[in-house]
């Protein structure tokens, strides 16, 4: 029987050191299983061998995450285990955060599989779910005897590179990612079958549930427009000739900002369309049709606002992943705010 060498991380409580009074202890390691570690060994018929247990106080980990991460990675690199187990953390937020962060680092930096278990609202879930499977738990540690076997079963599948089923089937928290798989029937057949069921009021399962987007509270209005610095920007990919920073036409990996100091209007040839998702001919002919600099200058002269900001932010919003777009928007907003801008007019294609 192949032994699976495991490094196990726990907090001060599950590590049997103490309660909140011991939450400030720095990480230390021991070469034996501790507490729940023994349960993993037993439940796996001793296939899982805990070669190292790392214990760290929840507060220490929360306040010194980078340092703890570096130390833990170092220990794990030394051991080179087959598997890293963190927790289970149940609903404990600080504990879940350190478990999630450590698992993510172990997977992405060391390439070693990791498994954990948490309550779905544990902040550690959002940190790590994209990179790993996290078994779903309730909020009580009393479940431990049912959680550990689930973790072992899922970890075995990951280690043996077996196909893994859906969240409900395997008992993990939905990871929020979608993967391509092949079906027995082609798409058109599945559509016709789905319609027949829907028309006969029979139950069916949609293959693409409608997503719900995050909302952001509306910003307060610009209080005194005559005193305001206004910026213009676009996702239409209007860039200086030659696209000097190579913003991609599709699935852009970046956003940029360029100076419009002293420029009254975007001249044909000086600017071009980098965006691959719309007919570029009208905007290449007159880039102001996507980034309205000429009209903004007219309004600036008419004192509709105090001053047009001397830079414009730009990216290409063509099949850009939503998470990237959120990040670019946030960064653009932060830059503009730090430069004293009060209002932004963005255009979208």
Partner 1 sequence: METLKLRRIKVADVQFGSVTEIQGKTLFINKEELISLLLEDKQLQSVDVKLARPGESKRIVPVKDVIEPRTKLDEKTYTFPGFFCDPDFISGRGTTIVLDGAAIVTSGKLVNFQEGLIDMSGKGAEYSVFSKKNNIVLLFEPVPGLGKHEHERSVRNGGVKAARFIAEAVKNFGEYEEAEYPAATLLELLGSNAALPKVVYICQTIAQGLLHDNYFYGLNAQGCLPVLMNPTELMDGAVVSGNCAAPCHKHTTYHHQNNPIIEDLLSEHEKKITFLGVIVAPVRTAFVEKERICNQVFKIAQMIGAEGAIVSEDGGGNPEADLMMLTRLFEKNGIKTVLVTDEYAGSDGASAGLADVTPEADAVVTNGNGNERVILPPMDEVIGHIECVDVITGGHSGSLLPDGSVAMEIAGIMGSTNELGTENLTTWAI
Partner 2 sequence: MLITAIPSVAFTVGANRIIRGVAIPYPVGAPSEEPAEELYIRKCLLERALKALATPISEQTIFEE
Q: Is the Cβ–Cβ distance between 69 and 102 less than 8 Å?
A: yes
Q: Is the Cβ–Cβ distance between 135 and 151 less than 8 Å?
A: yes
Residue 249 is a binding residue for partner 1 (CB under 8 A): yes
1 binds, among partner 2, partner 1, none (CB under 5 to 8 A by kind): none
Rounded to a whole number of angstroms, the minimum distance from the CB of residue 322 to partner 2 is 7
Rounded to a whole number of angstroms, the minimum distance from the CB of residue 17 to partner 1 is 36
Rounded to a whole number of angstroms, the minimum distance from the CB of residue 42 to partner 1 is 29
The DSSP annotation for 266-330 comes to PPBTTEEE--SSS--HHHHH-GGGTS-HHHHHHHHHTTSSSEE-SEEEE-B-SS--HHHHHHHHH
348 binds, among partner 1, partner 2, none (CB under 5 to 8 A by kind): partner 2
Q: How far apart are CA 74 and CA 102, in angstroms?
A: 12
Other C-beta atoms within 10 Å of 208: how many?
6
Candidates 31, 180, 215, 226; binder of partner 1 (CB under 8 A) is 180
161 binds, among partner 2, partner 1, none (CB under 5 to 8 A by kind): none
Q: Is the Cβ–Cβ distance between 99 and 7 less than 8 Å?
A: no
Half-sphere exposure of 48 (CA within 13 A, CB side): 27
18 binds, among partner 2, partner 1, none (CB under 5 to 8 A by kind): none
178 binds, among partner 2, partner 1, none (CB under 5 to 8 A by kind): partner 1
Rounded to a whole number of angstroms, the minimum distance from the CB of residue 103 to partner 2 is 30
Candidates 19, 74, 111, 166; binder of partner 1 (CB under 8 A) is 166
Residue 345 is a binding residue for partner 1 (CB under 8 A): no
> Count residues contacting partner 1 (CB under 8 A)?
54
- Name 74's Cβ contacts closer than 8 Å, sequence gap at least 6: none
Rounded to a whole number of angstroms, the minimum distance from the CB of residue 133 to partner 1 is 8
202-241 footprint of partner 1 as x/- string (CB under 8 A): --x-xxxxxx-x----------------------------
* CA nearest to 313, candidates 217, 233, 238: 233
Using the minimum distance from each CB to partner 1, give the nearer residue, 130 or 330.
Answer: 130
The window from 11-19, 168-176, 262-270, 292-300 that contacts partner 1 (CB under 8 A) reads 168-176
Q: Is the Cβ–Cβ distance between 14 and 35 less than 8 Å?
A: yes
Q: Is the Cβ–Cβ distance between 275 and 318 less than 8 Å?
A: yes
Q: How far apart are CA 147 and CA 119, in angstroms?
A: 11
Residue 337 is a binding residue for partner 1 (CB under 8 A): no
Token pair 């010194």: residue = 64
Q: Is the Cβ–Cβ distance between 281 and 272 less than 8 Å?
A: no
The window from 46-54, 306-314, 321-329, 338-346 that contacts partner 1 (CB under 8 A) reads 321-329
Rounded to a whole number of angstroms, the minimum distance from the CB of residue 329 to partner 2 is 10
Q: What is the DSSP secondary structure assignment for residue 27, as one 8-state letter?
A: P
What dihedral do alpha carbons 243, 246, 252, 254 form, nearest 10°?
Answer: -100
Binding site for partner 2 (CB under 8 A): 213-223, 225, 230, 236, 278-283, 285-286, 288-290, 292, 294-296, 298-299, 304-305, 322, 343-349
181-200 footprint of partner 1 as x/- string (CB under 8 A): xxxxxxxxxxxx-xxx-xxx
Q: Catalog residues that contact partner 1 under the rule CB under 8 A.
A: 130, 164, 166-167, 174-192, 194-196, 198-200, 204, 206-211, 213, 246, 248-251, 276-281, 318-319, 321-324
């Amino acid at each position: 029987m192949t032994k699976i060498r495991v490094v196990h991380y726990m907090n001060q409580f599950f590590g049997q050191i103490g309660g909140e009074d011991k939450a400030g202890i720095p990480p230390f390691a021991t070469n034996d299983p501790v507490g729940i570690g023994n349960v993993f060994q037993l439940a796996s018929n001793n296939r899982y061998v805990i070669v190292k247990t790392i214990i760290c106080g929840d507060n220490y980990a929360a306040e010194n995450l980078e340092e703890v991460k570096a130390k833990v990675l170092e220990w794990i690199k030394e051991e080179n285990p087959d598997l890293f187990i963190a927790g289970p953390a149940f609903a404990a937020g600080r504990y879940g955060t350190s478990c999630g962060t450590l698992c993510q680092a172990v997977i992405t930096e060391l390439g070693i599989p990791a498994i954990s278990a948490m309550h779905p609202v544990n902040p550690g879930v959002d940190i790590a779910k994209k990179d790993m499977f996290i078994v779903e738990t309730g909020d009580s540690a009393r479940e431990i005897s049912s959680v550990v076997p689930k973790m072992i079963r899922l970890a075995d599948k990951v280690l043996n590179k077996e196909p893994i089923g859906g969240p409900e089937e395997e008992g993990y928290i939905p990871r929020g990612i979608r993967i391509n798989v092949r079906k027995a029937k082609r798409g058109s057949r599945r559509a016709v079958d789905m319609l027949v069921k829907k028309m006969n009021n029979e139950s069916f399962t949609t293959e693409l549930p409608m997503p719900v987007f995050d909302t952001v509270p509306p910003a307060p209005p610009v209080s005194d427009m005559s005193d305001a610095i206004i910026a213009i920007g676009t996702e239409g990919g209007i860039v200086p000739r030659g696209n000097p920073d190579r913003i991609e036409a599709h699935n852009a990996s970046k956003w940029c900002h360029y100076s419009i100091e002293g420029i009254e209007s975007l001249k044909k040839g000086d600017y071009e369309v980098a965006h691959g998702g719309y007919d570029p001919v009208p905007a290449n002919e007159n880039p102001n049709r996507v980034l309205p600099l000429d009209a903004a200058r007219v309004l600036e002269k008419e004192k509709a606002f105090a001053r047009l900001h001397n830079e414009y932010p730009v990216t290409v919003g063509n099949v850009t992943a939503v998470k990237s777009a959120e990040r670019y928007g946030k960064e653009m907003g932060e830059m503009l705010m730090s430069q004293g801008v009060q209002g932004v007019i963005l255009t979208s294609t």
